[in-house]
Amino acid sequence: MTGVLLRAAHVTRRFGAFTAVDDVSMGVEPGEVVGLLGANGAGKTTLIRMLLGLIAVTSGRVDLLGGPPDRQRRRRLGYVPQGLGLYGDLTVRENLSFSARAYGTAEPVLSPALRGYADVLVRELPLGAQRQVAFLAALAHAPDVLVLDEPTSGVDVLARAALWDTIRAQAERGAGVLVTTHYMQEAQQCDRLLLMSDGRLVGEGSEADIIGSTTAVAVRTGDWARAFAALAAAGAPVMLAGRAIRVANADPAELAEVLRAAGIEASLQPVPATIEERMLVLSRQAKAS
């Protein structure tokens, strides 16, 4: 496969007076894993629903595999929703055979980890195993495009590493993968990131590109509890990292003044910001406007 598998060009979606997605352009190419980040209400789910052809665009254009996302093209898509989309009252084998028939493919072979669960009802499985079943169901027809909503939420680190192995294997055989995640270490597994805020695409590229000009200050003090309270009372976007306090997009001089007024001795040091801090700054800007 060559060319862009999944593309949005100047896509906007309104619900009444509310603009959920505002002039977003993006694409996913074969062999790449793209991470879609954003707070709740940023427009991620609406964008994905348009890309999948589940809701119409208000304006702009969506292409799935070179054309509109109709039934025929959706056959070449694999989708794992956050709720997994499995039938809890069916067994693992029944679920897989249902989805295989829906896509007109052969039933997938159970992985060694799932073999013991073949005849167990899905709702009785541990969450990690349920996720593996949802992956198997979505991958059995070797889709060209894979869309995953929070793929590893709630599973342990080994299961997470195994699921990422599966995701990577799909990209390596040429599929394009779009992943939404709230998990920053998961974002670091992606080849490229997209950041949405308030319906718009506000960042694209590597982790450094996403963080952009956001800065952070680390405050170290023997009296972290009082320093934390003083900075929070002054309205600073404070976070705790161990016993150090982090403040996003702050002026060190102003922080020093707040601490001095409270009689707290502290050392202040500029540090690289995180993706989370970038998102915190964006959400504060959105609220202020």
Partner 1 sequence: MTYSVRSATVRFGSTVALDDVTVEVPAGSVVAVVGGDGAGKSTLLRALAGEVALDAGLAEAPPRQRLGYLPASSGSWAALTVTQNIDFVAGIYGLAGDELAARRAELLERASLTPAAGRLAAQLSGGMRRKLGFIMAIVHRPALLILDEPSTGVDPVSRIDLWRLASEAAASGAAVLMSTTYLDEAERAAHLVVLDSGRVLVQGSYDQVRAGFAGVVTRADQPVRAEWAWRRGRILHEYWPVGDPPAGTTAVAPDLEDIVIALSLARRNAVPS
- Residue 84 corresponds to which tokens in the numbers above? 């997994």
Residue 114's H or E segment, with its range, is helix 112-115
Instruction: Mark 178-217 with x for binding to partner 1 (rule: CB under 8 A) and - for no binding.
Output: ----xxxx--xxxx--------------------------
Using rule CB under 8 A, residue 258 touches partner 1: no
In the chain, DSSP finds a helix count (H) and a strand count (E) of: 11, 13
Residues whose CB falls within 8 Å of the CB of residue 192, separated by 6 or more in sequence, listed in order: 32, 33, 34, 35, 204, 205, 206
Of residues 62 and 80, the one with the C-beta less far from partner 1: 80
Chain positions 11 to 50 lying near partner 1, rule: CB under 8 A, are 37-42
- Minimum CB separation of residue 24 from partner 1 in Å reads 18
Cα→Cα distances 149→45, 78, 242, 283, Å: 9, 11, 30, 21
Name which of 105 and 188 has its Cβ closer to partner 1: 188
Contact window for partner 1 (CB under 8 A) among 46-54, 102-110, 139-147, 278-286? 278-286
Q: Quick one: 57 or 245, whose CB is closer to partner 1?
A: 245
How far is the C-alpha of 133 from the C-alpha of 152, rounded, in Å?
13
Q: What is the dihedral of CA 78, 80, 85, 86, to 10 degrees?
A: 80
Exactly one of 229, 234, 262, 271 binds partner 1 (CB under 8 A); that residue is 229
Judge contact between 231 and 187, C-beta under 8 A: no
Binding of partner 1 by 241 (CB under 8 A): yes
- Say whether residue 232 binds partner 1 (CB under 8 A): yes
Phi (first) and psi of residue 18, to 5 degrees: -95, 130
Q: Does 113 bind partner 1 (CB under 8 A)?
A: no
- Contact set with partner 1 (CB under 8 A): 37-42, 82, 126-128, 150, 153-161, 164-165, 168, 182-185, 188-191, 224-226, 228-229, 232, 237-243, 275-276, 279-280, 283
